[in-house]
Structure 1
Amino acid sequence: MADAAPTEEFVELTGGRVHLLRAGTGEPVLFLHAAGGAGVWHPFHQGIADAGFEVLAPDHPGFGKSDEFPETEAIDDLVYHYLDVMDALGLARPHVVGASFGGWIAAELAVHSPHRIGSLTLLSAAGLRIPEHPVTDIFLLPPAKLIATLYHDPPVAPLTASPDAPPDLDAVIAAYREATSLARFSWVPYLSNPKLERRLGRITAPTLVVAPSDDRLIPVEHARRYVARIPGAAYAEVPDCGHAMYFERPAEFAAEVTRHLSEHSLSAHPLAAAESGASR
């Protein structure tokens, strides 16, 4: 059976529109993307949808086809932005999966509003400041070096375009826009919130932290620190993989995520039982 194509939607919020891709049926999974890959339905997404979940993948403000939301200026603003997105989508307490920059947003969301998170999955999440294990500054890396940093086995560049061919201006403009948006949220302090680590004990959702074994951007020590600070968090590591995890090893990461989601059904959440009783 061929994979069903995702539907494309726009969610209207005060201040702009959020672009969203959605596919699958079952318990809702809100996926918060990394700095790259916005606005595209990846095999990783399809793997989760095929496992019996409804995957909702919005683009962050200033990424993909989402509007800028100029008043969204920092990580705390993104928390309120995604609470608004959840309300607009009718998501009372979804599974939340965040990768890298999106993992940072997911962690902050779970700290701020633990009652709104059914389960939490962090995939090589940014957000922590560990001076002895610094995060590589992607804003300083040339494109060739960036690819080598993101992948365990960097993909071979396709030999389809002539060196003399003009650049794809739409792609250049989109990349500049997204880099500018990332800098807006994470330039100072770089990809971190120094207060986050001491607040992680507020998280109550069942949490899985997954890391690639060869992460040259966010050292695996960051994932292990998340596990140490989040009550009851579990840890998994995918071998022979770099930071571009759901591009490089989509099946393996989807399998880890769906295993966690299946083990922590939203219907079994303690708040679900309380809400069911209150509705009678």
Structure 2
Amino acid sequence: MTVTDLDPSTPAVQRHDAGSGTVAYRRVGTGRPVLLLHSAGGANEWGPLQLGLAGVADLIAPDHPGFGLSDDLPELHTVDDLVYHYLDLLDALGLPQVDVVGLSFGGWVAAELAMHSPERVRRLVLGAAVGLRIPEAPIADLFLMTPPQLMRALFHDEALVSAALSAVPTTEGILATYRDLGALARFGWHPFLNDPKLERRLHRITAPTLVLAAGEDRLVPRAHAERYAARIPDAELRDIPDCGHALHGERPAEVTAAIVEHLGGRRSEAELDLETGAET
């Protein structure tokens, strides 16, 4: 579910004063705190993954600055700035240590956060994460893709592609998408969706880490997940087969179950499927 189709049961948005503006976040659930860092297209989202995490944890799901319902905070320019932004947010919420789940662009931010301040991250999940520079396996330029090309990169299931392309966009949705893409370009245009220094610093991550790779990812080659898993000490690499880049959008029950298990909740895929109403 996105900004245009959230149902009435979605938790209310809260706001944190972040200097030149405020950032929006939703917080719900009990248990260990989990910080969920969304993908470039996942701002203001509330769906099966969020429901599954909220069922086993104290879930904090913010919109990155410039995305979704958060203000632009134009003083922030780099992913490094976002790391300090999230450390400030955790301090403001009184959270000395959290589990961190990062998806795609959010996976890059999550990796940088866990590398910068390893003592703040108890467990880490990187789902189809960007952030690494691998010249022989470059990330596809989504800014150059047509809508059909982008949907086929996000989803492997042709039925999901057709449904996404046949949906009638609203003016609000179009404006939100362009704003999110503008924010993505601000933080990740040059160098394109990577930090050349990140790979050699990944050894600083101490959190037990789960790296999720989409079996049919046409945006981020598998080499990126393999490199993350190889460079982070004792990381586990797990494949999600028959799945495009949008892991939790295409295989929500399987992805949520894998994340919850890694974080220690140990809910089965079947249980999460029933609770969230997700379809595998």
TM over 0.5: yes
Residue of structure 1 equivalent to 2:251: 249
Residue of structure 1 equivalent to 2:24: 19
- Structure 2 counterpart of 1:114, which letter? P
Residue of structure 2 equivalent to 1:275: none
- Alignment of 1:148 with 2:149, yes or no, is no
Superposition map of 1:99-248 within 5 A: 99-154=103-158, 155=160, 156-157=162-163, 161=168, 168-248=170-250
How far apart, in 1, do the equivalents of 2:45 and 2:198 lie? 29
**1:73-97 CA-partner distances (Å, limit 9, x unpaired):** 0111111111111111111110000
Could you tell me whether the CA contact under 8 Å between 1:210 and 1:223 is conserved in 2?
A: yes
The SS at the match of 1:63 is coil
- Alignment of 1:41 with 2:46, yes or no, is yes
Residue of structure 2 equivalent to 1:267: none
How far apart are residue 4 of structure 1 and its match?
6.2
User: % of aligned pairs identical?
Assistant: 53
How far apart, in 2, do the equivalents of 1:46 and 1:4 lie? 11
Could you tell me whether the CA contact under 8 Å between 2:156 and 2:216 is conserved in 1?
A: yes
How far apart, in 2, do the equivalents of 1:215 and 1:240 lie? 9
Residue of structure 2 equivalent to 1:258: 260
- CA change 1:222–1:90 in 2 (3 A) is same
Q: Which structure: larger Rg?
A: 1
**1:48-106 CA-partner distances (Å, limit 9, x unpaired):** 222x2111110001000000000000111111111111111111110000000000000
How far apart, in 2, do the equivalents of 1:90 and 1:220 lie? 37
- Structure 1 counterpart of 2:50, which letter? H
- Structure 2 counterpart of 1:200, which letter? L
How far apart are residue 168 of structure 1 and its match?
2.6
Could you tell me whether the CA contact under 8 Å between 1:7 and 1:23 is conserved in 2?
A: no
Q: Aligned-residue CA RMSD in angstroms?
A: 1.7
How far apart, in 2, do the equivalents of 1:226 and 1:153 lie? 26
How far apart are residue 255 of structure 1 and its match?
0.5
How far apart are residue 150 of structure 1 and its match?
1.1
Residue of structure 1 equivalent to 2:61: 57
The runs of 5 or more residues in structure 2 that have no matched partner are 1-7, 267-280
How far apart, in 1, do the equivalents of 2:204 and 2:217 lie? 27
- Structure 1 counterpart of 2:54, which letter? A
Residue of structure 2 equivalent to 1:95: 99
Could you tell me whether the CA contact under 8 Å between 1:102 and 1:125 is conserved in 2?
A: yes
